[in-house]
Structure 1
Amino acid sequence: MSRLSTLSHRQQGLLLTGGGAIIMAPDALLIKVADLPDAEILMWRGFLSGLGFLLIALLRYGRGTLAAYRRCGWTGIAVALLFSLTTCGFVLGNQYTKAGNVLMILASSPLIAAVLSWVILKERLPRRTWLAICLCMLGIAMIALDDAGAGSWVGNAFALMAATTLAINFTLCRTRPGVDMSPMLVFNGIVVGSIAGLFWLAGSEPTLPATNQLAVVILLCLIIVPCGVTLLQRGPLYLPSAEVGLLLLLEVVVGTLLAWWILGEQPAPVAMVGGVLVLGTLSAKGLYERRLELRQRAVLEAALPVTVDRSSTL
């Protein structure tokens, strides 16, 4: 039995989603480092990530890969199209405004997901989840406070599109419990890569990126994005969509810290306080819910009927 299978349903969801968020943390930073035109970075991201998603699907399902795609059905197609919009919004948002702006707006996805889950799935979220979302949103706003006036309306609009489609994506996955939608992300890569490729070819003089730029693109699009997003896409199988969105805030905080470190940016004191608030809220919420889970398990075990072995008395 694998170590993962010994964990509870919720623990598996937290591990997969949190791991995916950490893996995706350098995403915004590497887009900035690659420094490629809009159509070109989207084309490479689309085709290379599509290849990565396909390799992961083949590795996981082997001969059952086609069956895994059939299980996704029309919902899987919708998921792929929605994630195509998320990809375009996130990448173009980083092209037109600062990473802090994009990450702050992307952090609004838990609120959007919570409302969608409440309206569509009739999920009732505990007050602690709403409180954690509000505190984390406050922390993210503090992180990007000194960036708030620097971003363009175009970049902010793209970032809002990414946040909205991401929230709809996770909520839609919850309508098909037990069905893994991550293999459908191959089609997201094909759609984004093909459309962006047409714009790239229509450019004045399409050229290949420099060696250092290509190395960054391969690392980001072929390895980081497929691995991280596959884990994130499996999150709704285990957790409510709002919980998945909440854990995505780890990507926001860690990604911002990486940008500060690698790009040599000096964070303002208010931004540091915001980061501590987000990480502290997530940690406190996780520890509290872990205690609740252990307490509920103890109550269930105590309520189970005790079977007495009378064989020794015969």
Structure 2
Amino acid sequence: MSRFSALSHRQQGLLLTGGGALIMAPDALLIKVADLPDAEILMWRGFLSALGFLLIALVRYGRGTLAAYRRCGWTGIAVALLFSLTTCGFVLGNQYTKAGNVLMILAGAPLIAAGLSWVILKERLPRRTWLAIWLCMAGIAMIALDDAGAGSWVGNAFALMAATTLAINFTLCRTRPGIDMSPMLVFNGLIVGSVAGLFWLAGSETTLPATNQLAVVILLCLVIVPCGVTLLQRGPLYLPAAEVGLLLLLEVVVGTLLAWWILAEQPAPMAMVGGTLVLGTLFAKGLYERRLELRLRAGVEPALQAPVERSGGL
């Protein structure tokens, strides 16, 4: 038995989700460090991540890989298209505004998904979720209003597009419970890489990036993105949504701190307040829902144990 198998179900979920969030934390930072033109960074990210996702799918499913793709159906195609927009929004957002701003705005994706679930899936949301949605939207607005110069409005808009399409993606996946959509991310990479490649070829410069830039791109797109996203995709199979949401904040917090520290990005006071409001709201909501879950479990387990005790006395 492996050490991972020896862990409890919850411990496995904590390791997978927390590990995926930490792996993805330097994503925005490395996009900045690569310092490549828009089309070129998107082309490399698309094709290299497609290769990474394909290798992971082959390792996970082996001879059943084609069957895994067939199970995704048309929903999987829509997931691939939506994640292509998420990728473009995230990468281009980092090209035009501060990495910390992009990560903070992206942190609102789970709550946008909650709102979409209420509209599309007719799910009733508790008041605490609506309160969290409005607080996060206020925080995101503060980040967007941080500064309107130097193209930051464009970057914030791209980041909001990434958050919104990711939220739609979450909602769409919930219409097919139990189906793993992660293999379809191969097609997301091919779509992004192909479209960006056409723009790159149409540009004036089509030379390969410098050795140091290429090393950063390969590390990010072939290793970090496929491994991190795959681990995050597995986390919800082991942990409740409230706890997964808390662990996902690791990517935002660690990624923002890395960008502020290494890139010396100095956030404006309004952006700091907005980011604190977003993260604080998500953290408080996750903790509150975790407490509710523990109370519910404590009330259910004794009721389940009572018949066993009675039958044991017969």
TM-score normalised to structure 2 length: 0.82
Residue 57 of structure 2 corresponds to which residue in structure 1? 57
CA distance in 2: counterparts of 1:131 and 1:3, whole angstroms: 41
Aligned positions of 1:167-182 closer than 5 A: 167-182=167-182
Q: Is the 8 A contact 2:117 2:171 kept in 1?
A: yes
What displacement does 1:202 show? 2.4
**Structure 1 contact 101–148 (Cα < 8 Å) conserved:** no
Deviates more, 1:151-160 or 1:110-119: 151-160
2:94 match: secondary structure: helix
Check if 1:10 corresponds to 2:16.
no
Structure 1 residue 293, shift from structure 2 partner? 2.1
Taking only the aligned residue pairs, the percentage that are identical comes to 90
Please say if residues 97 and 152 of structure 1, whose CA atoms lie closer than 8 Å, have aligned partners that are also in contact. Answer: yes
- Mapped partners of 2:260, 2:89: distance in 1: 23
Match of 2:130 in 1: 130
Between 61-70 and 196-205, report the one with greater CA deviation.
196-205
* Equivalent in the alignment of 1:97: 97
Q: Counterparts of 1:149 and 1:14 in 2: how far apart (Å)?
A: 41
Q: Alpha-carbon deviation of 1:219?
A: 1.2
Listed one character per residue, the Cα deviations across residues 95-141 of structure 1 (whole Å, up to 9, x for unaligned) are: 23332443344344234312210012222233333334444455555
Change beyond 3 A, Cα 1:194–1:110: same
Aligned-residue CA RMSD (Å): 3.7
Does the 8 Å CA contact 1:170/1:236 hold for their aligned counterparts? Answer: no
Kindly provide the CA deviation profile for residues 266-288 of structure 1, in whole angstroms up to 9, marking residues without a partner as x: 45566556555555444443333
Question: Alpha carbons of 1:243 and 1:143: their partners in 2 closer, same or farther (altered >3 Å)?
Answer: farther
Cα drift, residue 61 of structure 1: 1.6
Aligned position for 1:36: 36
- Give a deviation string over 1:37-92, Cα, whole Å, max 9, x none: 11111111001101111111122222221111111111111101111111112112
Q: Is the 8 A contact 1:46 1:193 kept in 2?
A: yes
- Structure-2 change in CA distance of 1:38 and 1:299 (3 Å): same
Can you list the C-alpha shifts for 1:205-251, whole angstroms capped at 9, x where unaligned?
31111111011101111111112222344567678999977865543
Shift of 1:198: 2.1
Superposed displacement of residue 178, structure 1:
0.5
Equivalent residues of 1:140, 1:274 under 8 A apart = yes
Deviating more after overlay: 187-196 vs 174-183: 187-196
Distance 1:290 1:101 in 2: 28
1:80·1:187 contact (CA, 8 Å) conserved in 2? yes
| C-alpha spacing 1:312/1:209, structure 2 compared with 1 (3 Å) | closer
Question: How far apart, in 1, do the equivalents of 2:237 and 2:147 lie?
Answer: 35
Distance 2:241 2:169 in 1: 9
Measure the CA separation in 2 of the matches of 1:106 and 1:85. Answer: 13
Instruction: After TM superposition, give the deviation of residue 201 of structure 1 in Å.
Output: 2.1
Distance 1:186 1:308, change over 3 A: closer
Give ranges in structure 1 of 5+ residues lacking alignment.
Answer: none
Summarize deviations over 1:13-47 as a string: whole Å, max 9, x none.
77655543332222111111101011111111001
Give distance in 1, aligned partners of 2:105 and 2:199.
27
Q: Is the 8 A contact 1:98 1:150 kept in 2?
A: no
Q: How does 1:287-306 map to 2 (within 5 A)?
A: 287-304=287-304, 306=306
Q: Which SS does the other structure have where 2:307 is aligned? A: coil
Count, aligned residues = 314
